[in-house]
Amino acid sequence: MRGKGVINMSSQSTDVIEVGGISVPANEAQVVLALSVLSERIGRLPVQDKEDLFELVKAAPLMQSKEDYDSFLGAFLEILEQNPLEVNDLDLSEEEQEKPEEYVNWIEWISKKIREVRQNAELTQEELANKAGLPQSHISRLERGKHSPSHMTLKKIAKALCIDVTELDPGL
């Protein structure tokens, strides 16, 4: 049975292989396989993260230096390497499905702190996003408490604001 991402070596020629039901030259097979994996991984991302990823990709042609490329790649991988849980993966009772108050308070505290430090630095969300190498929509969602920041995201924001990451999250 041929499925998505399955590679079948052609018995007639070693120059052509089949990837996901498509015959491709062997030298292109790795690219096709990588694109299949990338497509599958993007498909599992939450909608907002997909939007952030596509916003980031649209900005790629504006890269002018290695630093821009490194920042782009870092933000791209940070979004892509998330391992989002699906509701089916969780076996929680209704009580456990509620966000714990401590978690909600932590997100509220961090979102207010990011906004406060950004405003004190007299930066717009877009300016902070550019300095941190993150999409502006990501900064917006963090400041509104709609998204929980990763440690890497907090480090990027802290560096962009010229502060220690513990000012954003004393628990780190």
The predicted-structure confidence for 57-83, as pLDDT tens digits, reads as follows 888 888 888 888 888 888 888 887 766
Q: What is the pLDDT of residues 86-145, one digit of tens each?
A: 444 444 555 444 555 665 688 888 899 999 999 999 999 999 999 999 888 889 988 988
Residues 40 and 51 grouped into a single domain: no
Q: Which domain holds residue 148?
A: 46-84+100-172
- Structure token pair of residue 74: 């870092």
Please answer whether residues 25 and 16 qualify as being in contact, where contact means their C-beta atoms are separated by less than 8 angstroms: yes
Whether residues 128 and 170 fall in one domain: yes
Tokens of 6: 């399955």
Alpha carbons 90 and 111: distance in angstroms, whole number: 26
Residues 74 and 122 in one domain: yes
Residue 113 confidence (pLDDT): 92
- If we measure between CA atoms, which residue out of 73, 79, 86 comes closest to residue 141? 79
Residues 56 and 113 reside in one and the same domain: yes
- Same domain (yes/no): 106, 33: no
Q: Is the pLDDT of residue 84 over 60?
A: no
User: Residue 94 domain-assigned?
Assistant: no
Q: 49 near 76, Cβ under 8 Å?
A: no
Domain shared by 54 and 110, yes or no? yes
Contact 160, 171 (CB under 8 A): no
What does the block give as tokens for 158?
Answer: 């802290």
Distance in angstroms (rounded) separating the CA atoms of residues 164 and 154: 10
Question: Among positive and negative, which fits the CA dihedral 68, 70, 73, 76?
Answer: negative
Which has the closest alpha carbon to 133: 153, 110, 111, 107? 153
Per-residue confidence band for 14, with pLDDT thresholds at 50, 70 and 90: low
Q: What whole-number distance in Å separates Cα of residue 79 and Cα of residue 156? A: 13
Q: Please give the residue that has the higher pLDDT: either 20 or 121.
A: 121
Number of compact structural domains in the chain: 2
Burial class of residue 169 (count of CB atoms within 10 Å of its CB; 0-12, 13-18, 19+): middle
